[in-house]
Amino acid sequence: MPANNQLVIVYGTALMSRIRFVTVLLAAAAALLLWSDRTLAAASCYIVSNDIGYVCDTNPPPSSFGKPVKLHDSILPGLKFGKLADNINVYAEPNMNSPIVRNAGDGFLFHTIEDTANNNEEGRLWYMIDLGEWVRGEDITLKSQSDFTGVEVLTQPERPFGWMLVDFAYSESPGAEPSATAIKLPRYTFVEVYDAVVDDQGWIWYDIGQERWMRQTYLSIIEVNPRPAEVGENEYWVEVDLYEQNFVAYEGDRMVYAGLVSSGLNRWPTYEGLFQVWDRHMAANMSGAEGKVDYYVVEDVPHTMYFNVDIALHGAYWHDRFGYKHSHGCVNMPLRDAEWVYFWSENAPNDLWVWVHTSDPHSYFQRVDPADGTAGP
């Protein structure tokens, strides 16, 4: 745990434009004096209010990031899904007088909606979940896809970046509560990191531009990492960070895409290691834990890439909890992100590498020796 009077720890090599030595308690007062010119120049946009939105400098630098282009032949727009209620009957036809095919049982049961039918006599809408299998409209809850997508990385990032994980207002200094006039940044807001310090409670605080500070628990942060030794200099690989709950796609040493994930819950962890994708499917049915309270059946899981036996990277339509653990062990990805990785990796010169690890956010920092201005181990 850091002491009250300590070195300000400056973010990795990406932020080492200026190394500073201040106390945490004086960080807010000294902020303007210690702000680097590079940070001011780069902090070209910031949120003024939810109504006004972003205000930017007149000549902002070119962005290093872009949104993925929608594929004209994407399967995603045509997919519709629903969650079945527990212990409902599945019928052969869209009417109550037709034979019961089966009882669905209980569990985490998601199905693709193949067709719909209005039964005017019953005044009821029916959904077909498979050929010859119909369920009543009141027995299924339709699911909408998450609006979140990651970013294509157009040029190697100059600094760490990431996303808000909750709706929260920034603070005007590290360790401080948000002021009454601070704007609440919505969940999934994209941010870049210009500086970072550790407060006297051990929390990392990130400056997301214009002296707007956010505690680490509200963000998922990405920084360029070196490729594993086993990965060739021109090979494709994906980094999955279990601590930050995000992923990065690389071609050799060049970052090309990044986004959020949901890995396995503590009861069903996503295991660390270096793997390679050994099987892939445009859509795959998944099930497990039959007879247990966590029994699940999920149909047509899109863009599935198996890398560790039955553990896969894949799109997830059944939740919007990206940035938090939420799975039975697979790496859940936003739908468009999984689609992007799926087709990008098809052109790889290798079977896609997948490096799963747990980062230590404090390892991004280097302590400063004020005697000689050099970074220590």
For residues 246 and 347, membership in a common domain is answered with: yes
Residue 72 counted as domain residue: no
Instruction: Confirm whether pTM is higher than 0.85.
Output: no
Q: How far apart are CA 194 and CA 37, in angstroms?
A: 11
Does 261 reside within a domain? yes
pLDDT greater at residue 193 or residue 62: 193
Q: What is the mean pLDDT of residues 334-353?
A: 96
Domains contained in the chain, number? 2
Q: Is the pLDDT of residue 39 over 80?
A: no
Furthest-apart CA atoms within the chain: distance in Å: 86
Q: 33: pLDDT confidence band, cut at 50, 70 and 90? A: very low
Given a contact cutoff of 8 angstroms between Cβ atoms, the answer to whether 14 and 157 are in contact is yes
Distances (CA, A) of 21 to 35, 152, 215, 370: 12, 35, 20, 7
d(CA 234, CA 186): 37
360 Cβ neighbours under 8 A, 6+ residues apart = 243
Band of residue 22 on the pLDDT scale cut at 50, 70, 90:
very low
Whole-number percent of the chain with pLDDT over 90: 66
Flag whether pLDDT at 325 surpasses 90. yes
3-state secondary structure of 347: coil
**Span 219-264, pLDDT tens digits:** 999 999 999 999 999 999 999 999 999 999 999 999 999 999 999 9
Pairing of strands 65-66, 151-153: antiparallel
Q: Is the pLDDT reported for residue 362 higher than 90? A: no
The region of weakest confidence among 76-80, 274-278, 343-347 is: 76-80
Residue 287 falls inside a structural domain: yes
Same domain for 248 and 133: no
Confidence label for 73 from pLDDT (cuts 50, 70 and 90): confident
pLDDT attached to residue 164:
95
175 found inside a domain: no
Neighbours of 221 (CB within 10 A): 24
Count the alpha carbons within 13 Å of 331 in the hemisphere toward its beta carbon. 33
Q: Are 203 and 217 in contact (CB under 8 A)?
A: yes
Report the range of poorest mean pLDDT among 291-300, 326-335, 353-362, 363-372. 363-372
Q: What is the mean pLDDT of the chain?
A: 82
pLDDT at 247: 98
Query: Is 288 within the bounds of a domain?
Result: yes
**Which residues of 309-342 form beta strands (DSSP E)?**
311-315, 331-333
Span 178-215, pLDDT tens digits: 988 888 999 999 999 999 999 999 899 999 988 899 99
Between 48 and 326, the more confident residue is 326
Residue 48's pLDDT band (cuts 50, 70, 90): very low
Q: What distance in Å separates the CA atoms of residue 82 and residue 299, rounded to the nearest whole number? A: 10
Name the band, by pLDDT with cuts 50, 70 and 90, for residue 292: confident
Residues 139 and 252 in one domain: no
- Report pLDDT for 129: 95
Residues 169, 76: Cα–Cα separation, whole Å? 34
Length of the chain: 377
Domain endpoint, select from 111, 126, 143: 143
pLDDT tens-digit map of 103-124: 999 998 999 999 999 999 999 9
Nearest 5°: CA angle at 87, between 84 and 93? Answer: 70
Per-residue pLDDT at 10? 32
The answer to whether residue 351 sits within a structural domain is: yes
- What CATH number did the domain enclosing 320 receive? 2.40.440.10
- Average the pLDDT over 134-158 and give the result: 94
Q: 132 or 73: which carries more pLDDT confidence?
A: 132
Same domain, 356 and 253: yes
Asked if residue 246 and residue 129 are part of one domain, the reply reads no
How many percent of the chain have pLDDT more than 70?
79
Same domain, 240 and 357: yes
Name the pLDDT band for 45 (thresholds 50, 70, 90): low
Amino acid at 232: G
In terms of residue numbers, what domain contains 92?
80-143
**The dihedral sign for the CA sequence 17, 21, 26, 32:** negative
pLDDT value at position 83?
Answer: 96
For residue 150, what are the contacts with CB-CB under 8 A and spacing of at least 6? Answer: 68, 247, 257, 258, 259, 260, 334, 337, 340
Q: What pLDDT was estimated at residue 30? A: 35
User: How far apart, in whole angstroms, are the C-alpha atoms of residue 157 and residue 147?
Assistant: 24
The tokens describing 364, both together, are 């991004």
CATH at 122:
2.30.30
Q: Is residue 202 part of a domain?
A: no
Residue 166 forms part of a structural domain: no
- At 363 the pLDDT is 57
